[in-house]
């Protein structure tokens, strides 16, 4: 199977030289010649008719197409003459294995959705195999949409890691913690012990990073939050949690603790530069200022927030306050797509409506939220998130010459307001081509067969309907 990916179809179509697929090869050298390169740098640069030189998984140089250096003259060439090449997209909040619950319970608000449908289903079905298979399907969906890194939160994290490693992606694994027993663990102490064991096993893997993931203020006690904050500092790990997703959550906190959730977590030492807060739908002006001072990050999930009727997050106000905001899809059970292109466009449009200002969240800023801003939230900005010499070659080619994409006056605008994941033709992670869409529209993965993935999905559907 591994030899098939390059040797059979992809090599003649996309490469001009003798590149064969080998996941262990560290000296792969090739050139991507693109119509546009969008580095996602501070100057909002747009490069036309440029080439990206990739060597050993890293970006070696970025030069005009006509100025390929002699030392790279015999490198394989990828023709992206009708494409925009951008950094790999980063999904800042996901529950990947919930892909198997896609469409399982629709059209409910968050708490009825959780209490009456999702948590009972998880109690019945979640296992190592559920998490592995659901994560594998999610990885395929994300790679086909140009996502190279995601920030996950779910049970049985080792199963997620095994799926991610097969797919060839990067992941920040959220070591989930709650006070309630599940098929994975019985107590908060069990969750923490199991999670740190997995972290110890994979802490040297360059594609895997970790964060503690206390589920939410309404499922985690003060004592557990304080312990997590201390342990995260000791182990230099981040914290990834849900916060201010619904008005009901805030009201419950006021009744139980006498303060809003953010104020409670701030007092417990949870909020800081290594904290990613999912949703943040109901944040007030003073709370945005607090997050800015603390250096915490928001994972904005607009489509999930809309589908669950949770509300519209004050994203433009957060950015104006100096809060770093990235984009996430949430799980496929509440979205129902793991499609970051949909999130980018929806985020930009919602911000304009919320502000009643068409200039709120312009296209470039929306694209930043899915690339360099998300990388910054995960502490990975020195490795990924922009096309910069010395960074890892996590890259995506997006074809912009289809009839529905013409005319194209501004490729950045097109990526946000016009393009879809179906226009992603190649996704590279660390210089390895993990996904491509063939000229006739077929999906191909480096280490996963489409028919195998289809079979996995259908087998679980039959099992869960029985």
In order along its 466 residues, the chain shows pLDDT tens digits of 233 333 222 333 333 332 333 444 334 899 999 999 999 999 999 999 999 999 999 999 999 999 999 999 999 999 999 999 999 999 999 999 999 999 888 888 888 888 898 889 888 999 999 999 999 999 999 999 999 999 999 999 999 999 999 999 999 999 999 999 999 999 999 999 999 999 999 999 999 999 999 999 999 999 999 999 999 999 999 999 999 999 999 999 999 999 999 999 999 999 999 999 999 999 999 999 999 999 999 999 999 999 999 999 999 999 999 999 999 999 999 999 999 999 999 999 999 999 999 999 999 999 999 999 999 999 999 999 999 999 999 999 999 999 999 999 999 999 999 999 999 999 999 999 999 999 999 999 999 999 999 999 999 999 998 7
Q: What is the pLDDT of residue 21?
A: 38
Exposure string for 247-280, b = 16+ CB within 10 A, e = fewer: eebbeebeeeeeebbbbbbbebebbeebbbbbbb
pTM of this structure: 0.94
3-state secondary structure of 146: coil
Residue 90 near residue 148 (C-beta atoms within 8 A): yes
Q: What confidence score (pLDDT) does residue 60 get?
A: 98
pLDDT for position 25: 36
What pLDDT score was predicted for residue 10? 34
Neighbours of 57 (CB within 10 A): 18
Which value, in Å, is the radius of gyration of the alpha carbons in the chain?
A: 22
**What one-character-per-residue DSSP string does 395-419 give?**
EEEEE--SGGG-S-S-HHHHHHHT-
Question: How many residues in total does the chain contain?
Answer: 466
Task: Please return the burial class of 179, using the count of CB atoms within 10 Å of its CB with bins 0-12, 13-18 and 19+.
Answer: middle
For each of the domains in the chain, give its residue range(s) and CATH number, in order of start. 2-86+394-451 (2.30.40.10), 89-377 (3.20.20.140)
């Amino acid at each position: 199977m591994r030899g098939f990916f390059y040797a059979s179809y992809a090599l003649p179509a996309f490469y001009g030289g003798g590149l064969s697929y080998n996941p262990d090869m560290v000296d792969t050298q090739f050139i991507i010649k693109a119509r546009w390169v969008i580095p996602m740098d501070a100057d909002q640069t747009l490069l036309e008719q440029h080439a990206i030189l990739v060597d050993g998984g890293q970006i070696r140089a970025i030069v005009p197409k006509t100025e390929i250096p002699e030392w790279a003259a015999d490198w394989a060439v990828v023709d992206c003459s009708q494409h925009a090449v951008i950094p790999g997209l980063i999904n800042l909040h996901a529950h990947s294995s919930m892909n198997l619950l896609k469409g399982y319970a629709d059209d409910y608000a968050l708490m009825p959705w959780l209490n009456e449908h999702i948590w009972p289903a998880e109690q019945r079905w979640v296992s190592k195999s559920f998490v592995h298979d659901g994560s594998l399907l999610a990885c395929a969906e994300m790679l086909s949409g140009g996502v190279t890194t995601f920030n996950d939160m779910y049970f049985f994290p080792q199963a997620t890691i095994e799926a991610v490693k097969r797919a060839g992606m990067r992941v920040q694994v959220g070591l989930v913690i709650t006070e309630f027993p599940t098929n994975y663990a019985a107590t908060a102490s069990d969750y923490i012990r199991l999670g740190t064991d997995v972290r110890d096993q994979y802490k040297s893997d360059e594609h895997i990073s970790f964060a503690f993931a206390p589920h939410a203020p309404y499922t985690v006690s003060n004592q557990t939050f304080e312990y997590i904050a201390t342990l995260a500092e000791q182990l230099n790990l981040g914290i990834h949690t849900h916060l201010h997703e619904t008005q009901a959550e805030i009201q419950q906190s006021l009744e139980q603790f006498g303060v809003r959730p953010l104020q409670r977590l701030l007092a417990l030492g949870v909020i800081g530069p290594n904290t990613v807060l999912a949703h943040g739908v109901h944040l007030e002006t003073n709370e945005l200022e607090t997050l800015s001072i603390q250096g915490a990050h928001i994972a904005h999930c607009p489509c999930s927030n809309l589908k669950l009727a949770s509300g519209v997050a004050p994203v433009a106000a957060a950015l104006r306050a100096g809060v770093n905001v990235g984009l996430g899809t949430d799980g496929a059970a509440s979205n129902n797509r793991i499609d970051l292109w949909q999130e980018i466009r929806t985020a930009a449009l919602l911000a304009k409506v919320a502000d009643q200002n068409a200039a709120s969240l312009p296209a470039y800023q929306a694209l930043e939220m899915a690339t360099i801003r998300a990388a910054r939230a995960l502490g990975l900005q020195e490795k990924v998130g922009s096309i910069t010499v010395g960074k890892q070659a996590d890259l995506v080619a997006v074809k912009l010459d289809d009839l529905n994409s013409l005319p194209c006056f501004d490729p950045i605008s097109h990526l946000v307001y016009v393009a879809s994941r179906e226009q992603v033709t190649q996704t590279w992670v660390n210089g390895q081509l993990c996904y491509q869409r063939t000229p006739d529209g077929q999906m191909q993965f480096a280490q996963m067969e489409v028919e195998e993935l289809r079979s996995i999905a259908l087998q679980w559907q039959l099992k869960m309907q029985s």
